[in-house]
Structure 1
């Protein structure tokens, strides 16, 4: 369908025999020819409506109108089946086995579905990630980035109402929001829609932060890690790492309040070490209680003894393996969702890499604590698709010798100043199939200070030792806020003396300037469509992709999340101004991904 839309846009833009530009009206029509079997792809014919002054063939159709957003084929197919049954009931048999869908959502956004696999609705999860543009930042940068946006379109009340409309239409199970500075209002509005949320403000002078909301009728929050990068001198950005349980099918639909395990208390500047230690110990006790309940549930449900405790015979037996598999089928499905807004500064690739690396280690630690739970990592990474930062996330490693920190994010501010010129450049690149590369041919060597930043690690909480003494695994108490005391332990953050490769073993990745993380991640959009979205943000300073939804690839037989479908941004040609505008309330569009929860 994306290729069909691009061809039609080119046709009405003048690429026709008469070389005439044809105005486009709404709706966008999609004709669906049913496939031969349940696992075969449908055939789609996409049509644009044009003014009546142009000659178009007439046709007769039975019509059924309904509201909402086009989010999956099945919801549309149900409407088509209901219409067909009504026609057969009132008019008898009809010819043809297909149907036509006309969408009026301006501009049109399309859902792309992955390979269809057998699943049940109770095991499906929808995750939404959205940078909603903080009101404080909209006013601060309005004259620079939003020159084409009116004061009415920037007004928070109007934009908030639009956000709520989008959320209601998409109906996600988990919302990861960035640039939130009206959390109390959003919490109240979303509570009325069945959501509960947690907020984490940035640690500096900015008033915005992050928020994670979840649908209480389907999910139970188990734990929430708050990551403050400023604790290691990595700027004032923050991240959230949440652990959820998917409620059993018989419990879904019931409204629930509260969480069985308390989350981290809100931060207070200058807390003494004893307060931090008590917070960590309380979280450890909470985790121990949750794990004890899971062991008891597994033992009762399978009729077997509780799973083997650490320190017992590691070899096990066939009977124990069978018991573990049965317990996994009984226990609630557990998964991790992280939310982050990485540093914006395009030339500080060292900080972006360090923040990303520390986040992924913290996610790995949360996954280990939850017994190897699958993870979703989403947010605004302020890094272009296929840049060094993006490749580090998806490949698990990055050699810094060939990387220039000033270009590591691939996010060049001010290329083609003004949204129209940047859109033209983006369309030209798409037409040619060649995306412009920004990295210089000869990278500038890294200084010791820059290397210290890139390899910096979040500090362990005071007075708490890491579990097993493992370096940077995030699984022990240090994992509650990253893990590891880092190279150097000064409270002021990374220093040039922190980077000391001399004396390190040959196998140490720092000797090879190799940055690594322990997760195996893939983009949900790449998994479904084969590539990242063309763009996710558009304003007078930049147009491109900086928002992502990644998911962890798990071993065969382990619980996993498999992407089922994604929501594409509107086609770039449909934009008539930069964002925000009358149709889109933020300078970003939301990303939405559907997952199937696969149990062991």
Structure 2
């Protein structure tokens, strides 16, 4: 699957192409933290969202469990342990921002979710050796996904790896959502989909991006402009005050993308992200400099050059090896560990590597930057990561505030999914991913309670300029 997350490509041919569909693991920790990212002080201000259990989450009391062929546990013990794992894994917690948004009337809950394409799962069963085959059944998984989304009171859904859009459209229409879909070009069967709650939002504008048109492979992205609906009573109330109905209109842009997987093609990855951000900025300006949200599977880790480009708005690509733009490592699948090299030694290594200017071909520069002779990238959106902006705890977050893992299968455990936002929006709360020790106990996603090999990212935003956010 050319854009399926976490597949290992073979060595490149002389023309830079590849043809394998295996996945590789990523490096979870950086050799050094990005210079523009501040270390976050973690807290535990959270609220639990529990699925299918009347008992509180016991994740803080979960002890390491190791199976053994010599174990003498009887069937009852095994069932009890399994039930304990299921209970812990069925709960995720909300963590709240320190920003006071209690008086904000206009809020939006956004979900970004790679839901695992049916075709992708069937073609890569080797990624799920510990997952019962019934857990990969689409009829079962789509029900779990719908049930999960219902728990979040979401208004906007950004899905990736959608190859049964009609199923999703039918299910979510019955729950008050409308949606648009963009299939990947070429032979791939999956694509991206954006859904919005019809009672809350109106679609004003839409633009699909086919990256193939720009020589950037068969991946696609979506951009939607939405307006918050207000009932007539609220509009009448506004008309009686100094705030007119026209100034009460809340419009924002939502972008949804699934970036190419191939770690050897950092030029194409950068080109896809660059193009989405450029088009999102132009469309946001067309509608009056409206706020922007970018969601999706970037197939890049938090310590990558792509993350740096998103967060800092600029990138000198000569300082980066094209083959490691996304932070992926070409290591054996059985060497799946969290690697942390933060410290003096790592800082020294980073300072040495920063002096190296990597050679990019004219064509690679053109794909990455849009022009043959350009070596510096820049975008005009001032973006912040929603999760990095709401401090969490070290069971679910890394040193820069991103989730420790948003995806887990036999060849990868790490973070590739994100929700970004412009400064006009303030994160109110985010849904924590599963604690890393509990996630390991599952031995891989999907599970009995979760319908994908990714975890959904969820953030509630408030509009920062409404006078009620402090």
TM-score relative to the length of structure 1: 0.59
Equivalent pair of 1:301/1:327 in contact (CA under 8 Å)? yes
Q: Would the alpha carbon gap of residues 438 and 453 (structure 1) be closer, same or farther in structure 2, given more than 3 Å must change?
A: farther
Q: Would the alpha carbon gap of residues 157 and 447 (structure 1) be closer, same or farther in structure 2, given more than 3 Å must change?
A: same
* Higher normalized contact order (CA 8 Å, seq sep 6+, divided by chain length): 2
Deviations 1:391-447 (A, max 9, x none): 00110110012111100100225x4525xx52xx22x63999999999994564111
| CA distance, structure 1, for counterparts of residue 322 and residue 452 of structure 2 | 29
Q: Would the alpha carbon gap of residues 247 and 439 (structure 1) be closer, same or farther in structure 2, given more than 3 Å must change?
A: farther
Q: Decide which structure has greater helix share.
A: 1
| CA distance, structure 1, for counterparts of residue 262 and residue 119 of structure 2 | 18
Q: How many residues align?
A: 382
Identify the residue that residue 585 of structure 1 maps to in structure 2.
451
5+ unaligned residues in a row in structure 2: which ranges? 1-40, 46-54, 64-85, 392-399
Q: CA deviation at 1:581?
A: 2.5
Query: Structure 1 stretches (4+) deviating beyond 6 angstroms?
Result: 1-5, 430-440
Q: CA deviation at 1:565?
A: 0.7
Deviations 1:464-488 (A, max 9, x none): xxxxxxxxxxxxxxxxxxxxxxx5x
Equivalent pair of 1:27/1:49 in contact (CA under 8 Å)? no
Q: Is 1:568 matched up with 2:453?
A: no
Q: CA deviation at 1:164?
A: 0.8
Alignment of 1:362-377 (within 5 A): 362-377=279-294
Q: CA deviation at 1:120?
A: 4.2
Q: Is 1:380 matched up with 2:409?
A: no
SS of 2:151 mapped into structure 1: helix
| CA distance, structure 2, for counterparts of residue 3 and residue 562 of structure 1 | 18
Q: Is 1:28 matched up with 2:57?
A: yes
Identify the residue that residue 107 of structure 2 maps to in structure 1.
124
Q: Would the alpha carbon gap of residues 105 and 249 (structure 1) be closer, same or farther in structure 2, given more than 3 Å must change?
A: farther
SS of 1:429 mapped into structure 2: coil
SS of 1:199 mapped into structure 2: strand
Equivalent pair of 1:107/1:574 in contact (CA under 8 Å)? no
The correspondence for 1:236, drawn from 198, 201, 218, is 218
5+ unaligned residues in a row in structure 1: which ranges? 6-25, 30-45, 51-102, 253-296, 304-324, 457-486, 488-498, 502-509, 554-559
Q: Is 1:178 matched up with 2:160?
A: yes
| CA distance, structure 1, for counterparts of residue 410 and residue 345 of structure 2 | 23
| CA distance, structure 2, for counterparts of residue 435 and residue 217 of structure 1 | 51
Q: CA deviation at 1:217?
A: 0.8
| CA distance, structure 2, for counterparts of residue 434 and residue 548 of structure 1 | 29
Q: CA deviation at 1:598?
A: 3.3
| CA distance, structure 1, for counterparts of residue 413 and residue 101 of structure 2 | 38
The correspondence for 1:417, drawn from 325, 330, 333, is 333
| CA distance, structure 1, for counterparts of residue 345 and residue 299 of structure 2 | 22
Q: Would the alpha carbon gap of residues 3 and 353 (structure 1) be closer, same or farther in structure 2, given more than 3 Å must change?
A: same
Q: Is 1:518 matched up with 2:432?
A: no
Identify the residue that residue 551 of structure 1 maps to in structure 2.
421
Find the structure with the greater CA-based Rg: 1
Equivalent pair of 1:28/1:49 in contact (CA under 8 Å)? no
Alignment of 1:7-406 (within 5 A): 27-28=56-57, 48=61, 104=87, 106-120=89-103, 122-143=105-126, 145-250=127-232, 326=243, 330-406=247-323
Q: Would the alpha carbon gap of residues 451 and 193 (structure 1) be closer, same or farther in structure 2, given more than 3 Å must change?
A: same
Q: CA deviation at 1:366?
A: 1.3
Identify the residue that residue 451 of structure 1 maps to in structure 2.
365
Q: Is 1:537 matched up with 2:401?
A: no
Q: Would the alpha carbon gap of residues 206 and 349 (structure 1) be closer, same or farther in structure 2, given more than 3 Å must change?
A: same
- What's the Cα RMSD here? 3.3
